[in-house]
Amino acid sequence: VIPDGFSPNGDGINDEFVILGIEKYPENELYIYNRWGGLVYSAKPYQNNWKGESNTTTLKLVGDEVVDGTYFYILKLNAEEKGKNGYIELRRK
């Protein structure tokens, strides 16, 4: 189950992008892009720990919080299963 939004504002509720059942796919890969197609986050494997910060140098934002908005994700589960993609809404307020 992949949520369509989360709010990494530090209130302890819905602060991380949590994909239910991701632990069943230890070879997973997650890529998150901004609306211009710039990679802002990637993880291999993803461990339900994205809090809306960039970890790539694509846009020279390593460690910076990404802005509120809509992001596109690609989730690769493993070599045998088709991945998933879609949109996630990030709102801190």
Q: How far apart are CA 35 and CA 22, in angstroms?
A: 25
Q: How far apart are CA 80 and CA 20, in angstroms?
A: 19
pTM of the entire predicted model = 0.89
Per-residue pLDDT averaged across 5-22, rounded?
Answer: 95
Q: Which two three-digit tokens encode residue 39? A: 């990679």
- 6 pLDDT above the threshold of 90: yes
What average pLDDT is seen over the chain? 92
- 37 pLDDT above the threshold of 80: yes
Q: What band does 93 get if pLDDT is binned at 50, 70 and 90?
A: confident
